[in-house]
Amino acid sequence: MKIKIKYIFLLCTIFSVFSIQSQTRIWNMKSLEKAKSSNSEACKLIIRDADKALNKTIATVMDKGLAPTSGDKHDYFSSGRYWWPDPSKPDGLPYIRKDGVVNREIDNLDRAPLGAMARSVYTLSLAYYLTSDYKYAKKAVENIRIWFLNKETKMNPNMNFGQTIPGRNNGKGRGEGILDTYSFVEMLDGIELLKGSSEFTKKDREALVAWFTEYLNWMQTSEIGKEEFSAKNNHGTAFDVQVTRYALFVEKEDIAKNVIDEFPTRRLFKQIEPDGSQPFELVRTTALGYSVFNLTHFIDMCWMAKSLKIDLFNAKSTDGRSIDKACSFLANYVGKEQNEFPYKQIKEWDSVQKKLQFELYRSDLFREKPIYKSLYENEIARSQKNIDLIFN
């Protein structure tokens, strides 16, 4: 999912998102309490989005028009993002890859509904915490039950048919499909805020923990999970982040610590060059986008490591590979024109710039003194001005 673009700097204006506090691992509760009492325009925008979510019934895995080869609609089913019919074949099979060019057939299966559900839970949970109005918690829990717990509508805890490719692999999923559930990482961040609600019962939490325990086991033991674990690029990074987040949620801290301890040598030092470049991402047709995408995963992992009192952000190889170097490399392109970027970025230059600025902001939260403030402070101010215009 990742936080919606319009929320990126909105969150900076009301609280230091993802500053670790022991009681929730991912929220700065002092800042959140301050935002709660301020009734700022930024908070009002979050609440407005939550009000929209109140009136929507989420789609479920049972609503798709086509079942995977298992025949069970409870199995999550999605298609490869960059795979298209082969125009040289009468039936278009097998599909061929066009990197960076999205085939909107992905909207016909479970990928979009999963993202919409996760966004709704996150937004509703945040609105509940900011307002103490139980209607938001009630709707968030309703959506959780629909997607994960209700026998008639729940998703099975596997990704056996994630990012399938028509005409290939006999309809089975790929390791890449596990990236689809990254939305659950932020959704669980939202669920942390429901703990004080009577709507989110002990039974709900226990059932959700059971679901994620089973999914975590599937990730670690299935062939598809092992395939994604072995990925050398952002997919491998995202896999580790998900395993860590789910392990923390189900209170298997030993699993989380093991992944974090191995993260520098297995991911950081193999994906980041001494100059800070990420070669596995720079070969893509959206090189800046994927470099920032992977940086997001790195920093997500740093926050979880910090909750366990592990300093991952400052991990450095003997030849200088580090997250700090990755930030420095990418910071060179903030505010630059697309033609100044020496790699391919065939789309979304402006939105990727905003995401990069936000990640530099998040990286500064790990430093004693911010070093990139000049690159993102104008965007924060512009975001607040735009929010004020909506309500004034």
Q: What is the pLDDT of residues 79-108, one digit of tens each?
A: 999 999 999 999 999 999 999 999 999 999
- pTM for the model: 0.94
- Give residue 80's pLDDT: 97
Average pLDDT of the chain, as a whole number: 92
Distance CA 334, CA 155 (A): 40
The tokens of 90 are what?
Answer: 């009468």
Q: How buried is 189 (Cβ within 10 angstroms: 0-12 exposed, 13-18 middle, 19+ buried)?
A: buried
CA distance 61 to 153: 7
With bands split at pLDDT 50, 70 and 90, how would you rate the model's confidence at 388? low
Quote helix, strand, coil % in the chain, to nearest 5: 60, 0, 40
Rounded to 10°, the helix 41-54/373-391 angle is 60
Reported as a pLDDT band with limits 50, 70 and 90, residue 196 is: confident
Task: Considering the chain, tell me which residue range(s) the CATH 1.50.10.100 domain(s) occupy.
Answer: 1-26+267-392, 39-230
Mean pLDDT over residues 234-247, rounded? Answer: 98
Residue 4 pLDDT: 55
Distance CA 314, CA 324 (A): 7
Helix axes 234-249, 183-191, angle to 10 degrees: 30
pLDDT of residue 220: 98
- Say if residue 65's pLDDT is above 90: yes
The fold of the 39-230 domain, in CATH, is: Glycosyltransferase (1.50.10)
pLDDT in tens, 336-383: 999 999 999 999 999 999 999 999 999 999 999 999 999 999 888 877
Residue closest to 351 by CA, chosen among 388, 321, 379, 390 = 379
* Angstrom distance (rounded) from CA 66 to CA 61: 10
What pLDDT digit, counting tens, does each position of 270-329 carry?
999 999 999 999 999 999 999 999 999 999 999 999 999 999 999 999 999 999 999 999
Q: Is the pLDDT of residue 226 over 90?
A: yes
Using a pLDDT cut of 70, give the percent of the chain over it: 91
- CATH fold, domain 1-26+267-392, is Glycosyltransferase (1.50.10)
Q: What is the 3-state secondary structure (H, E, C) of 197-246?
A: CCCCCHHHHHHHHHHHHHHHHHHHHCHHHHHHHCCCCHHHHHHHHHHHHH
Predicted local distance difference test score (pLDDT) of residue 248: 95
pLDDT at position 383 = 76
Mean pLDDT lowest among 6-10, 42-46, 146-150, 332-336: 6-10
Taking only the tens place, the pLDDT of each residue in 168-180 is: 999 999 999 999 9
Percent of the chain with pLDDT over 90: 83
**Confidence tier at 1 by pLDDT (50, 70, 90):** very low
Residue 9, pLDDT score: 66
Match 């050398």 to its residue by tokens: 232
Q: What is the mean pLDDT of residues 192-214?
A: 96
Task: Give me the half-sphere count of Cα atoms (radius 13 Å) on the Cβ side of residue 18.
Answer: 24
